[in-house]
Amino acid sequence: MTQPLSFTSKLASDKELAASLAKLWPHREHESNCIKNLFCRFGLHRWRQLDLKELVPHREVHYCFWYSKVRIDGIAYDT
């Protein structure tokens, strides 16, 4: 079953949004230890919330402090 065009276009625009928001902060993978890197690789990220109400209103944006992932409204994107 194919997803509606609006759903796939929303995911594409969210992926672009995640890539552009990731430029606002550097991820710290190079500063973390091997255990923290393993946690991120297994999906146990250290999410931090960003206060971006002015840039992206009505969206919930989190980023992983130790890895290059961005979560927008509960969906994680690798940047």
Is 10 within a domain? no
Beta strands in 1-79 (DSSP E): 47-49, 61-64, 69-72, 75-78
Is 13 within a domain? no
User: What does pLDDT average to over the chain?
Assistant: 79
Is 37 within a domain? yes
- What is the strand order of the sheet 69-72 is part of? 47-49, 61-64, 69-72, 75-78
The boundaries of the domain holding residue 51 are 26-78
Is 41 within a domain? yes
pLDDT confidence tier of residue 65, bands split at 50, 70 and 90 = confident
Phi and psi at residue 64, to the nearest 5°: -85, 125
Q: Cα 41 from chain centroid?
A: 14
Q: Into how many domains does the chain fold? A: 1
pLDDT confidence tier of residue 46, bands split at 50, 70 and 90 = confident
Is 20 within a domain? no
